[in-house]
Amino acid sequence: MSLTAPDASEFLTAIYEVDGPESLARSTAERICCDQTIEAEGNLLPPSLRSTILGRLENLRATAGGRYQATIRFRGDLLSGECSDLLNVLFGTSSLRGDVTLLSFTMTNGLLSSWPGPRFGIGGLRQSVGVSHRPLLCAVLKPLGRTPQELADLAVRFVEGGVDLIKDDQSLVDQRWCRFEERVSRCAEAIMRASTRRGRPCLYFAHISGSLDTMRQRAAQATSLGASGLLVAPGLTGWNALRTLRSDDEISLPMASHPSMLGTSVDRGSGGLAAPVVYGLLPRLVGADLSIYPAFGSDYPMSQQDCVLVAEYCRRSWGGLRSMMPAVGGRIGPERLDELGSALGKEMIFILGSRIQQFPGGVVAAMKEFHRILGQ
C-alpha cells in the first residue's frame, strides 16, 4: 500500500514534559517523535517518508524546575479512529521510559468528529435535574455489605435531603447478598417515588463495570429497571468500553466515569499522564457526561492546580464536543464547600460519600447544611 502525503488540515498535537538541560530535552523529544510512530531509528525510513511519518517537534521551551515542554505534531492518518490507536500514538512506547509526562493533546476538527463526546453534557445534566444556578450534589450508595433494601432506604433519605444525583459505589457489582438486578430495581423505584414526592427529579447512576458483554447486559437491565444513568470505571474496563456504550443509541443514558484504577496512570513525579488528560480529556472524548476525580486537599494526591485544570479541560470549548461536568470527591464535608467552590466554580458536582452518613443530625440534616452553604 502506498503512502500519500499527509493532509495538512488534520493532525494530532501532543505536549510532553521532559527533563533538561536543553540538549537532553531536545534529544528526548526527538526520541518521542520516533517512539510514538515507527518505534525505530529514523534512518530506517527513506528521506521522503522520514519527513512525513515521524512526529514533528514544533516547539521546545523551558518551564519551572529545569524541565521542558515539547510540542509534537503527528499526522492525522496515523489514526484509524480507535481508542487503541490514539493512546498508542500519544504515549504507547514513551510510557515505558519513566522520564516523560503527557501534559495535554488536541486534534483538528476532522479527527475530533469521529469521537462521540458527551451525549448530554453539562446542559443536559442540569436540565435533567432541574437545577441551573449552583453546583450539583451527588450522594453515594455505600458501604458494601448492605442489602438492596437497605441501600434503597438510604437513597430515599438522600432524595429527601435534596441531592441531585445518586450513584452506586464502585464496589457494588453483583454480590450474592446484593444482586445487581434487585439492587438497581429497588433503588431506582425508591428514588423515583421519593423524587415525585419532593417535586424534582434525581438521577440514579447504576454501576455496570465488567466485560463488554456484561456491561451491555447490565446497561440494558439498568435501563429497563428505571436507572437514569450509568457508572463505568474505564480504568478497569478500558476506555473503548465506555466509548462503545456511549455510541449505542439504544443506551441513551448519561454516563459517569469513575476513577478507580486510573490513579496508576497519573504522573507522580516519574513520568506518566497528567491528571487533566486522565480525568478530563480522555473521559470527555469517549463520551462521559461527568468525570469523577479526587478533590485537592482530600486524602488522595491531587494538587489544587491540577484539580482546577481538570475542571477546565472538562468544560472548555473543544470542537463540536459537548462540555463534561467535573465531579470531585474525597470525603467532602460542608466545611470544604466554600474553598472548593471558590477554586472550581459552579459548573461542578460535589460527590458526597461516607461523611454525610456520620453527620450528627443524620443524612437529611447533612444535606440541608450543604444546601444552606450553597445558598439554596
Domain ranges of the chain: 11-112, 121-374
Position 49 confidence tier, pLDDT thresholds 50, 70, 90 = confident
Q: Please determine whether the domains at 11-112 and 121-374 fall in the same fold group of CATH.
A: no
Closest CA to 217 of 187, 239, 241, 191: 241
pLDDT tens track for 67-95 = 999 999 999 989 988 999 999 999 999 99
Range 148-152 average pLDDT: 97
Whether the bond into 21 is cis, omega within 30 of 0: yes
Model pTM?
0.94
Q: Which residues contact 127 (CB under 8 A, 6 or more apart)?
A: none
Residue 137 forms beta bridges with which residues?
Answer: 350
Question: What mean pLDDT value characterizes the chain?
Answer: 93
**Alpha carbon distance 311, 72 (integer Å):** 24
**Alpha carbon distance 102, 248 (integer Å):** 30
Range 169-192 average pLDDT: 97
Pairing label, strands 165-168, 349-352: unpaired
Q: Is the pLDDT of residue 284 over 80?
A: yes
Position 183 confidence tier, pLDDT thresholds 50, 70, 90 = very high
Tell me which fold the domain 11-112 belongs to.
Answer: Alpha-Beta Plaits (3.30.70)
Q: What is each CA distance from 177 to 145, 157, 209, 210, 309, in whole angstroms?
A: 7, 22, 18, 18, 40
Closest CA to 15 of 68, 53, 88: 68
Q: How confident is the model at residue 42, as a pLDDT?
A: 65
Q: Which one has a higher pLDDT value, 334 or 275? A: 275
pLDDT tens track for 316-374 = 999 999 999 999 999 898 889 999 999 999 999 999 988 888 888 888 988 888 998 88
Position 121 confidence tier, pLDDT thresholds 50, 70, 90 = very high
CATH 3.40.50.720 fits 121-374, yes or no: no
